[in-house]
Amino acid sequence: MLRALGLASVDELFADLPLDIRVDGLPLPVGLPEPEVVERVTSILAKNRVGRDLPTFLGAGLYNHFVPASVRAIASRSEFYSSYTPYQAELSQGILQTLFEYQSMICELTGMDAANTSMYDASTALGEAALMAARITGKREIVLPRALHWERHQVLENYGLGPGLRYRDVPYDREDGTIDLAALKEAVGPDNAAVYVETPNFFGRFERIEEIREIAPSVLIVGVNPLSLAVTRPPGDFGADIVIGEGQGLGNAVAFGGPLLGVFACREEHVRRMPGRVIGMTRDAEGRRAFCMTMQSREQHIRREKAMSNICTNETLLAVASAAYVSVLGANGLRRVASENIERARALAGRIAKVGGFHAPAFTGAHFNEFVVRSEVSYEHVHRSLLARGVHGGLSLESHFPELGHAALFATTETHRPADYDRLVAALESVP
Partner 1 sequence: MRFRQAIWDEPLLFEKPSNEVASPKPGVVPPNLERKALDLPNLPEWEVVRHYTRLSQMTFGIDSGFYPLGSCTMKFNPKVHEELAALPEVRLAHPYQDVSTVQGSLQILYELQTILARIGGMDAVTLQPAAGAQGEFTGLLIARAYLKEKGDGARDEVLLPDTAHGTNFASAGMLGFKVVEVPSRDGQVDLAALEAAAGERTLALMLTNPNTLGIFESRVEDIARIVHDAGGLLYYDGANFNAILGKTNPGRMGFDMLHFNLHKTFTTPHGGGGPGVGPVGVKSFLEPYLPVPAVVFDGTRYSLDYDRPKSIGKVRAWYGNFGLLVRAYAYILSQGSDGLRWVTERAVLNANYLKMRLDEHLESPYPGLRKHEFVASGARLKERGLRTVDLAKRLMDYGFHPPTVYFPHLIDEAFMPEPTETESKETLDAFADAVAAILQEDPEIVRTAPHNTAAKRVDEVLAAREPILSWRMWRKRKGA
Residue from 1, 8, 190, 432 in contact with partner 1 (CB under 8 A):
1
Q: Is 21 in the site for partner 1 (CB under 8 A)?
A: yes
Burial class from Cβ neighbours inside 10 Å (0-12, 13-18, 19+) for residue 326 reads buried
The greatest distance separating any two alpha carbons of the chain, rounded to the nearest whole angstrom, comes to: 83
Q: Is 157 in the site for partner 1 (CB under 8 A)?
A: yes
Site residues for partner 1, 126-155, by CB under 8 A, read: 131, 149, 151-152, 154-155
| Beta-carbon count within 10 A of 298 CB | 21
Kindly list the distances between the CA atom of residue 5 and the CA atoms of 1, 8, 10, 18, 254, in Å, as whole numbers in the listed order: 6, 9, 11, 21, 49
The answer to whether the CB of 118 falls within 8 A of the CB of 261 is yes
Nearest approach, Cβ of residue 185 and partner 1 (Å): 21
Cα distance between residue 32 and residue 7, in whole Å = 31
Site residues for partner 1, 318-377, by CB under 8 A, read: 318, 320, 324, 326-328, 330-332, 334-336, 338-339, 342-343, 366
Residue from 8, 190, 306, 356 in contact with partner 1 (CB under 8 A):
306
The answer to whether the CB of 222 falls within 8 A of the CB of 240 is yes
Q: Is 402 in the site for partner 1 (CB under 8 A)?
A: no
Q: Is 45 in the site for partner 1 (CB under 8 A)?
A: yes
Q: Is 294 in the site for partner 1 (CB under 8 A)?
A: yes
Cα distance between residue 227 and residue 248, in whole Å = 10
Shorter beta-carbon distance to partner 1: residue 216 or 317: 317
* β partners of residue 195: 143, 220
Q: Is 8 in the site for partner 1 (CB under 8 A)?
A: no
* Residue-by-residue DSSP string for 144-172: EESSS-HHHHHHHHHHTTTTT-EEEEEPB
Read off the DSSP letter of residue 378.
-
Residue from 8, 190, 285, 356 in contact with partner 1 (CB under 8 A):
285
Q: What is the pattern of x (binds partner 1, CB under 8 A) and - over residues 98-117?
A: xxxx-xxxxxxx---xxx-x
Nearest approach, Cβ of residue 186 and partner 1 (Å): 25
Q: Is 31 in the site for partner 1 (CB under 8 A)?
A: yes
Q: What is the pattern of x (binds partner 1, CB under 8 A) and - over residues 69-88?
A: -x-xxx-xxxxxxxxxxxxx
Residue from 92, 178, 218, 375 in contact with partner 1 (CB under 8 A):
92
Nearest approach, Cβ of residue 31 and partner 1 (Å): 3
Site residues for partner 1, 245-264, by CB under 8 A, read: 253-260
Residue from 41, 347, 377, 419 in contact with partner 1 (CB under 8 A):
41
What strands, in cross-sheet order, belong to the sheet with 370-375?
A: 358-359, 370-375, 407-411, 395-396
Shorter beta-carbon distance to partner 1: residue 59 or 187: 59
Cα distance between residue 407 and residue 431, in whole Å = 15
Q: What is the Cα Rg of the chain in Å?
A: 24
Q: Is 230 in the site for partner 1 (CB under 8 A)?
A: yes
Which of the stretches 138-146, 184-192, 273-281, 418-426 binds partner 1 when contact is defined by CB under 8 A?
273-281
| Beta-carbon count within 10 A of 54 CB | 15
Which of the stretches 138-146, 214-222, 277-285, 347-355 binds partner 1 when contact is defined by CB under 8 A?
277-285
